[in-house]
Chain A
Amino acid sequence: MRSILTTAAMLLLLPAVSVAAVHEYRLENGLKVIVKEDHRAPIVVSQVWYKVGASYEPGGLTGISHALEHMMFKGTHSLAPGEFSRIIAANGGEENAFTGRDYTAYHQTLAADRLEIAFKLEADRMRNLTLAAEEFAKEIEVVKEERRLRTEDKPTALTYEQLSAVAYRSLPYAHPVIGWMADLENMTIDDLAHWYRLWYAPNNAVLVVVGDVQPAQVLALAKQYFGPLSPEEIPQQKPRSEPRQQGVTRVKVRAPAREPYLIVGFKTPMVGASDEAWEPYALEMLASVLDGGGSARFTKNLVRGREVAVSAGAGYSAFTRLPGMFLVDGTPAPGREIAALETALLEEIGKVKRDLVDESDMERIRTQLVAGKVYELDSVFEQALQIGQLEAMNMDWRLAEEYVERIKQVTPEQVRIVANKYLIDDNMTVAVLDPLPLGDAVGAEAQRSGNGRHQ
């Protein structure tokens, strides 16, 4: 439908707006510092990424990376608990932190002239955390409440947790990031102190700064505050791989719910560990063919079209530390069985295995991707996230810059090849949410009426 010429003209826009230079440094103590200038607004984002997350955790200590993330706000030898947040707030900053399978990150967004405050505070808590037992006793309760909120009382989240737990025989991606409740119950402050000593050091961290700053000044500040910190001996991770699965794995999750839910995972390789370098990019393309917006196949054929699902999705990430999964999920339409939904999802995958994807579909996805790269520049946070995520997994941040180019090189034939190679029974795990009754209070709402109000 679109002329190739117009598209080519559009693609040329990208270099014109993404020329912002990225500056990369390494301090003597091993801290990597990456600075990207963006002078659109007088703000700056500072992110410290540690190369540790749930996939580093041994059994019995699941959730410890995330629990430590919480304790990072609970005081250092020079700052009282909560003081970190109070200082950031007194400077109009936004702050938070997050833990993933492969990293833990801390971030502040501030007016550009206040970057120094973030550096002072982050450098301090990189080496000088107090880890007081009485603070931990309260904070682990907060973490347990977080687990209840995010997982225990969310039937779809429980189903995903079970899928991961049974899909992996060996890889630590079997563990939930927030940890199993029993491990949270048994976690001690000594466990955290040990975990902190192991991983929190400048030579296991990456500092990413994006915003209205001068790289030379950022480097000088980084040297001033992070430079004096001593490095540590960081433990070597053993190479891990998943044994061959040899057949479909199925798990049923019975939990109070109204609607059933289905999620399917196929084990896949990632960038840097695939038979062919293009395979992860072809899998990304495949995910977009199935679920890259309202005109992609799942929505077009299953939500509209056959009306077998009220929602259906596909997702895959080419950038992970260990091999992850290509995920497909959905909620059946009223009156449709979960088995019919599974069949329909697999039929859509079957079509990609059989028939080459149309060039027009490939072209649409490329265009969305190119546009998405421009939209990403509207947020300094997003730009820093792209860089930090890759670096925290020991991948080069330039992979994000090359990403569009790599995807553009993927051919319809390659999409068909990866679908046939990886989206197969021997890589497949299926989890189904089987609703248990919720009780009758929920349906009773319509009967409730009346309060003390003026008429």
Chain B
Amino acid sequence: MDAISRLFGTLLGVLLFSGLLNQAAVAGPHIQSWTTPNGARVLFVAAPDLPMVDVRVVFDAGSARDGAAAGLADMTNKLLNDGAGPWDADQIAQRLEEVGAQLGLGSERDMAWVSVRTLTEADALARSIETLATILAQPNFESDDFERTRKSMQTALRLGEQQPGTVAKRAFYRSLFGDHPYAIPSDGTQASLSAITRDQVREFHRRYYVAGNALIAIVGAVSRAQAEQLADRLTAGLSPGQPAAELPQVDQLLKMDQQWLQFPSSQSHILMGQPGMQRGDPDYFVLYVGNHILGGSGLVSQLSEEVREKRGLSYSVYSYFAPMRRNGPFLVGAQTQNSKVQEAIDVMLATLKRYIEQGPTEAELVAAKQDITGGFPLRIASNDKIVEYLAMIGFYRLPLDYLDKFVERVNAVTREQIHSTFQRRLNLDRFVTVVVGNGKTAQPEG
């Protein structure tokens, strides 16, 4: 026992001295950037070790652009690979899968994207890029595919309705964002999906899937010259177009909003929060590091300590800022058996309140910095992760040295900054709280 204690004494000594990485280890990958002849921006990192390349094309074409047609951005994105140029959905899938390429599509509130991962072998690469270029520029939006996708999205909505967590998330976003486009549910509603027309989809694609509204991220075993050719080919069929219009700012909430939704589940899902911060926010690193201590660091966060470790109330408890083009949500969440829902809410609120009032201790801040900076090499250890970073940096027009400066910015955060910034930006009197479950206290909506 004594021997082991000493062993860990030594270990802790090691920790104190290894808290800071040497400078060579904290630089990000070398990012090259340019614009294609028709106006698409490109971010590229050469990764020569594996014979593969990841390409991600991102458009400012998320559900914030849906207008009255909730689900339009998602539907447009989903239809891209259902038929394009001379090929139908079967042929597109076959063309890619025959060379081992993997296609990905998706959309959220800010962005819509199409990605491909392929081997760099000449035939595979050429086939993948040609297919991707065609999907982006010449989708057919055939009526059969359109109707099938509509039905499939309506079924997906119904599947979401049987999950209390999904029901809670929808209610939370609606309450948090009010009249802002971020309140639009990305996957639509039954009524909005029924009303969307093919013409709307065509028009959405014509307006937003254009070079001037696109960002291309490339990571892989290709040269700069090859990457330029690849980006040119990808965008060759896109019209230059215009960037999407500026989104309005998100208003702060004026008062508290609480919703208790009845659901026949054994747990109650709790979500609370308010509009948080945006990408490039001057408070970004202060809020990021501050939240890491509060609820962003898994089992060692304050929320996890109070809700899970001390009281066994929840398997998953967390908080995060989701920075978007405009202020995305600050969200605190947990799930607990129905009879414990009030206790869980009380503990979550007390933890938040104490953190906003007192901020972190110096020891907590040191530990958080060690965690974030010590883990920096993990963030950029694979092509997969780097291409995600490129898409984010490029889409939100963050400086290209974002990763190079990351560790320095994290280390610069002080206790006082966290304390004053959380006080300034979070206000528990104007929080949205959504509870979905079958608790005694659950009330029907009024």
Contact = CB atoms under 8 A, between A and B. Distances in A.
Contacts of A13: 51, 119, 121
Contacts of B175: 451
Interface in B102-126: 102-103, 117-119, 121, 123-124
Interface in B285-342: 297-300, 305, 308-316, 335-337
A109 B378 contact: yes
Contacts of B139: none
A82 B305 contact: yes
Interface in A90-108: 90-94
Contacts of B158: 258-259
Contact of A77 (B1, B51, B378, B381): B1
A273 interface: no
Contacts of B256: 452
A248 interface: no
Interface stretch (B92-100, B351-359, B388-396, B398-406): B92-100
Given A16-B51, A90-B19, A138-B310, A441 B262 contact: yes
Interface string A151-179: 01111000000000000000000000000
Given A375-B117, A448-B171, A2 B162 contact: no
Interface string A68-82: 000001000111011
A377 interface: yes
Q: Top 3 A-B pairs ranked by shortest CB distance?
A: A92-B374, A371-B100, A294-B93
Interface string A360-388: 00011001111110110111100000000
12 contacts: A10-B121, A13-B119, A82-B309, A87-B11, A92-B373, A92-B376, A138-B309, A146-B315, A372-B100, A380-B381, A444-B261, A452-B256
Nearest to B93: A294
A441 B380 contact: no
Contacts of B117: 375
Contact of B11 (A81, A120, A149, A367): A120
A145 B335 contact: yes
Interface stretch (B58-66, B234-242, B263-271): B263-271
Contacts of B21: 111
Nearest to A441: B262
A26 interface: no
B372 interface: yes
Given A41-B381, A142-B308, A448-B174, 8 more contacts: A6-B121, A16-B51, A149-B315, A154-B163, A294-B90, A331-B159, A445-B174, A453-B251
A441 B315 contact: no
Interface in A37-82: 40-43, 73, 77-79, 81-82
Interface string A222-263: 000000000000000000000000000000000011110000
Contact of A148 (B101, B171, B266, B370): B266
Nearest to B176: A451
A111 B148 contact: no
A92 B372 contact: yes
Contacts of A154: 163
Contacts, number: 290
Interface in A297-355: 299-300, 303-304, 307, 310, 331, 333-334
Nearest to B99: A367
B50 A377 contact: yes
Contacts of B124: 10, 371
B50 A374 contact: yes
A229 B97 CA distance: 49
B266 to A, nearest CB: 5
For chain A, give the interface size range. Answer: 35 or more
Nearest to A41: B381
A140 B337 CA distance: 13
Given A149-B315, A439-B264, A451 B178 contact: yes
Interface string B402-446: 000000000000000000000000000010100000000000110
Given A257-B162, A378-B384, A451-B432, A40 B49 contact: yes
A183 interface: no
Interface of B: 1, 4-5, 7-8, 11-12, 14-15, 18-19, 21, 25, 49-52, 81, 89-90, 92-94, 96-103, 117-119, 121, 123-124, 148, 151-152, 154-156, 158-159, 161-164, 167, 170-171, 174-175, 178-179, 189, 191, 251-257, 259, 261-267, 297-300, 305, 308-316, 335-337, 367, 370-378, 380-384, 430, 432, 444-445
Interface string A441-455: 111111110011111
A426 interface: no
B121 A41 contact: no
A86 B189 contact: no
A215 interface: no
Contacts of B170: 445
Given A138-B309, A294-B93, A91 B267 contact: no
A254 B278 CA distance: 44
Given A82-B299, A375-B52, A453 B254 contact: yes
A10 B123 CA distance: 9
Contacts of B155: 259, 310, 331, 333-334
A82 B302 CA distance: 12
A91 B374 contact: yes
Contacts of A378: 50, 52, 382-384
A141 B312 CA distance: 5
A92 B407 CA distance: 12
A406 interface: no
B374 A93 contact: yes
Contacts of A265: none
Given A78-B8, A259-B159, A259-B162, A371 B445 contact: no
Contacts of A446: 189, 191
A371 B382 CA distance: 17
Contacts of B376: 92
A1 B21 CA distance: 52
A363 B99 CA distance: 10
* Residue among A78, A90, A446, A454 facing the most chain B CB atoms (10 A cut-off): A90
B52 A89 contact: no
B97 A149 contact: no
Contacts of A188: none
